[in-house]
Amino acid sequence: MNLADFETKLIIIDFWATWCIPCVAMIPKIDSLQKEFKHDVQFISVSYQTENEITTFMDKLEKQHNVHYAIPYSTDDNLLRFMFPHKSLPHYVWISANGTVKAITGAEEITSANIDKAMDDQPLLLTEKKDFMVPYDYNKPLLVDGNGGDGSQFIYHSILTNYIPGLKANMHLERADSIHVNSLTLTNCPVMWLYKHAFGNGLATFYDEDRILLEMKHPEELIPSVRDAAYRNWLVKPGHGICYDLRLPASISNQFYTVFRQNLVTLFPQYAAKVEKRKMKSLALVRLPGSDRIKTMHAGGEVIGIFDNMGFTLQNTPLSTLIRRLQPFLRKSSSIVLINKTGYKGLVDIKIRADLTSVADMNSALKPYNVQWQEEFIEMDMLVIKDTCVQNQESKKGE
């Protein structure tokens, strides 16, 4: 047949397939409308399937309904579906007697009332079926390099990759508000960073190395014992350096860190992590009796925090800076936890020359400031990571 054969009629092309349940459900309705408007309308069913597939299916359907459907159909179609591209079925194209496309709709618009309007050349205020094909390769990850779209429609995802050359080590948080988090991105960082952030609720209770216990056979898998160039060589090995991205819809942003920790259980089943109370050896910074000798003399002025192997200079800074910046130096010789027990809230000026890996040397230099490091054993929250097999054995003993 040729479309010109129906030049006096409204043509409605019905794109369908035998596996499409809504398409099959429309067959009796289309047949009824064809009979109702037999002089003015021509429905034409079009399928990409073979003639054998269509005729076999239609024979069974007609026997089942005890009726003969007289709608003409076109099979093995490779032309019309490219002229009128679509991604879902059924798909209807309305063509007027003069060859103009009047509408492209879904099944809900195929009614007697709408056909009457089309025949009378009345304005057709039909809902347009907007179908477009997004390039997609099922053998590649969704949304990577535009595979499946630009990503504007995604609701939730969690991505884990090995080290990606060219990316810097970085962390980025996107917050829904001051409390809730929508997304976290970590690039080219050790796996340990994931545990630090997941169990520390971001930076709220950040677990640095001095607050982490690795009770496992190969702790070097999570915390390298090397630095500088050797560290970079360690980081690029599979399973050491990773990139991770977690994004949640705002409706469940209050569950962000719960989902994050669940992710770690799934992605790294070889490790079991939890926060436990442990009594730990610590160095507490305390104030000695006497006058305040650390109060800054540069309030509102320049902020300075300089540390090297031979001492440090603090100017117009809080004591928390000393605790945070000193830990890497002490870590070279000890895993002692540093805490601030001075109760001092103000900004300070302290300048000493001392071996920062030696507590005795530092205390000697700090004496003029009426502050000292004092060794204590304190019960505190520690992030404990074990091999899963060890965790299971301990659980059985507990039973």
CATH value at residue 65: 3.40.30.10
- What per-residue confidence (pLDDT) applies to 58? 96
Give dist(CA 79, CA 90) in Å, integer. Answer: 17
CA distances from 146 to 16, 43, 137, 162, 249 (A): 29, 38, 10, 21, 21
256, 288: one domain? no
In the three-class reduction of DSSP (H, G, I as helix; E, B as strand; rest coil), residue 39 is classed as coil
200, 171: one domain? yes
pLDDT digits (tens, 9 = 90+) for 42-99: 999 999 999 999 999 999 999 999 999 989 999 999 999 999 988 899 999 999 988 8
Domain limits for position 179:
152-269
- What per-residue confidence (pLDDT) applies to 225? 75
Specify which residues 184 forms β-bridges with: 173, 246
HSE-CB at 94 with a 13 A cutoff on CA atoms is 24
286, 324: one domain? yes
Contact (Cβ atoms closer than 8 angstroms) between residue 354 and residue 309: no
- Over residues 306-321, mean pLDDT: 93
User: How confident is the prediction for the chain on average, in pLDDT?
Assistant: 89
Chain centroid, CA 164 distance in Å: 17
- What per-residue confidence (pLDDT) applies to 398? 60
- What per-residue confidence (pLDDT) applies to 333? 58
**Domain end among 66, 100, 119:** 119
- Over residues 217-240, mean pLDDT: 87
Q: Is residue 129 part of a domain?
A: no
CA distances from 30 to 40, 176, 350 (A): 14, 50, 88
- Over residues 360-389, mean pLDDT: 93
Q: Is residue 275 part of a domain?
A: no
Give dist(CA 299, CA 347) in Å, integer. Answer: 8
Q: Is residue 147 part of a domain?
A: no
How crowded is residue 44: how many other Cβ atoms within 10 Å of its Cβ? 20
pLDDT digits (tens, 9 = 90+) for 166-210: 999 999 988 877 777 889 999 999 999 999 999 987 655 667 777
189, 89: one domain? no
109, 43: one domain? yes
Cα torsion 49, 50, 53, 55 to 10°: value is 110
91, 111: one domain? yes
For the ranges 24-33, 120-129, 290-299, 363-372, the lowest mean pLDDT is seen at 120-129
Contact (Cβ atoms closer than 8 angstroms) between residue 331 and residue 223: no
Contact (Cβ atoms closer than 8 angstroms) between residue 31 and residue 69: yes
**Domain end among 237, 269, 301:** 269
208, 315: one domain? no
- What per-residue confidence (pLDDT) applies to 337? 82
Q: What is the pTM of this model?
A: 0.61
Chain centroid, CA 190 distance in Å: 18
- What per-residue confidence (pLDDT) applies to 209? 77
Give dist(CA 373, CA 73) in Å, integer. Answer: 90
- What per-residue confidence (pLDDT) applies to 40? 93
Contact (Cβ atoms closer than 8 angstroms) between residue 183 and residue 246: yes
CA distances from 108 to 62, 128, 276 (A): 24, 11, 60
Say if residue 397's pLDDT is above 70.
Answer: no
pLDDT digits (tens, 9 = 90+) for 315-346: 999 999 998 888 878 766 566 788 899 999 99
pLDDT digits (tens, 9 = 90+) for 264-287: 999 999 999 999 999 988 899 999
- Over residues 140-165, mean pLDDT: 89
For the ranges 8-17, 54-63, 124-133, 199-208, the lowest mean pLDDT is seen at 199-208
151 versus 113: the higher-pLDDT residue is 113
313, 261: one domain? no
How crowded is residue 300: how many other Cβ atoms within 10 Å of its Cβ? 7
- What per-residue confidence (pLDDT) applies to 150? 85
Strand order in the sheet with 157-162: 157-162, 241-247, 181-190, 170-175
* Residue in 353, 355, 323, 351 with CA at minimum distance from that of residue 339: 323
9, 113: one domain? yes
263, 293: one domain? no
Question: Which is it for the CA torsion 249, 254, 255, 256, positive or negative?
Answer: positive
Domain count, the chain: 3
Cα torsion 37, 38, 40, 43 to 10°: value is 90
Q: Is residue 392 part of a domain?
A: no
**Domain end among 71, 97, 119:** 119
In the three-class reduction of DSSP (H, G, I as helix; E, B as strand; rest coil), residue 342 is classed as coil
And the tokens for 250?
């705002």
For the ranges 119-123, 159-163, 345-349, 363-367, the lowest mean pLDDT is seen at 119-123
- What per-residue confidence (pLDDT) applies to 396? 59
Q: With pLDDT > 70 as the criterion, what percentage of the chain qualifies?
A: 94
